[in-house]
Amino acid sequence: MASLMDRFAALNSKGPWRAPRMGKEKALKGGRHPVLDVTAGSGSAAGSGSPVAHAVLGTPLGGAEQFRESCPDAQELILGAGCFWGVERLYWSIDGVLGTSVGYAGGWTANPTYREVCTGRTDHAEVVRVVFNPATVSVEELLQVMFENHDPTLGDRQGNDVGSQYRSCVFASDDAQLARVEAAVQAWAPRFVKAGLGEVTTETSLMSTAGDGHYYLAEIEHQQYLHKNPGGYCNHGPNGVSCPTGVL
């Protein structure tokens, strides 16, 4: 967790702010069980209870593989743009999005908890996994939503949130998807400079090479949080920079 001095420095700085990283050897070791088991219950209760469904869409909270029967070409993309509550809400109503979930990625701690991630000692980012039908919505269109609704130039902070868990990042499923992600970021980056916001700091990589290579679902109370808590905290909205897909 960022100290009060760090928060003051970050929120009063111009341009990107970076939090220290733990690295694999110094990161918290984590737990044996996931905090949410999408097949049955959560944590130590895995193996009991009913499958967990999306509170808005009624679809699975799992990845693309859980949608293969209804959409054989389903893909997934992992996006980080600050607090995952607001980011997830940007996506669940988009045509072609089959499912969303919030979780942690890009760090070293196995099965991290929200509390652990907030210490800054896991190196994870708060992220949203978007499962989508590429015949209906493209990677570029999903990225457009992200880049037009957060400030990707701030490093490890977003809005009033400070810490490495709030960094801007995109983790792709494969090389082809990563190439499209990198092309979009490269094309849109000059627009943020021109708008006076500065250089884009968004981290891009394959999901398989981001930290320990795993996406960990967050606790059930964080899933579709702003649907369950309509007046809840959210700092996401239009940033004034247009990121057209037509330039790609």
pLDDT in tens, 31-77: 999 999 886 544 434 444 567 899 999 999 999 999 999 999 999 99
Q: Distance between CA atoms of 225 and 189, rounded to whole angstroms?
A: 30
Provide the pLDDT for residue 247. 77
Look-up of token digits 């050897």:
25
Provide the pLDDT for residue 58. 97
Structurally, at CATH architecture level, domain 59-226 sits in 2-Layer Sandwich (3.30)
Provide the pLDDT for residue 48. 46
pLDDT tens-digit series, residues 139-198: 999 999 999 999 999 999 998 999 999 999 999 999 999 999 999 999 999 999 999 999
Provide the pLDDT for residue 30. 95
- Quote the mean pLDDT of the chain: 93
Q: Distance between CA atoms of 202 and 157, rounded to whole angstroms?
A: 11
Q: What is the DSSP string of 181-245?
A: HHHHHHHHHHHHHHTTS-----EEEEGGGSTTS--EEPPGGGTTHHHHSTT--------S----G
The proportion of the chain whose per-residue pLDDT surpasses 70, expressed as a percent, equals: 90
Q: In what order do the strands lie in the sheet with 216-217?
A: 203-206, 168-172, 75-81, 125-132, 97-105, 216-217
Provide the pLDDT for residue 15. 73
Question: Can 83 be counted among the known catalytic residues?
Answer: yes
Q: What is the mean pLDDT of residues 188-215?
A: 98
Least confident piece of the model among 3-7, 117-121, 140-144, 226-230:
3-7
Q: Write down the catalytic residue from 71, 83, 118, 243.
A: 83
Query: Structural domain boundaries of the chain?
Result: 59-226
Provide the pLDDT for residue 49. 56
Provide the pLDDT for residue 222. 98
Q: What is the mean pLDDT of residues 200-210?
A: 99
Q: What is the mean pLDDT of residues 220-237?
A: 96
Provide the pLDDT for residue 22. 96
